[in-house]
Amino acid sequence: MAIVQCPVCQKRISSLSKVCPHCSAPLGEMTPEKQREIAALKRQRHIQWAKRISLLALTLALAGALGWWFFEDTGWQWPPPPWAMGVLVMSFLFYVAGRAWLLWLHLSRPRQRRF
Ligand SMILES: [Zn+2]
């Protein structure tokens, strides 16, 4: 018996279990190739979402900066209107979250064995 990773929820489970005790994924019916395929697909979806969050953050930052410029006649003058400040802070947080997620996905990627 060995401890393996559930291909669906990534939690540690026994290699002998037929059903994941955490997410109830039916493991007995899946071949190892199928399990790897599902894990890769899930990872790919997560990467797409992390990129979407980063893109959303950049769009928000642009909207905040343009809004700050056009909302008042004075242009980019400190301090920005509170709503523009809110949008900019939010975009920054979204960007950091998206990038941190991407970094984590990169660091936790399955490594190929080299012979
Ligand atoms: Zn699971």
Give 17 Cα–ligand 1 centroid separation in angstroms.
11
pLDDT per residue of the chain (115 residues) written in tens, 0 to 9: 788 888 888 899 988 888 889 998 887 777 778 878 888 888 999 999 999 999 999 999 999 999 889 887 777 888 888 889 999 999 999 999 999 999 999 998 877 666 6
Give 13 Cα–ligand 1 centroid separation in angstroms.
8
What's 6-67 look like in SS3?
CCCCCCEEECCCCECCCCCCECCCCCHHHHHHHHHHHHHHHHHHHHHHHHHHHHHHHHHHHH
pTM of the model: 0.67
Token digits of residue 95: 């960007």
Give 27 Cα–ligand 1 centroid separation in angstroms.
9
Write down the pLDDT at residue 81: 85
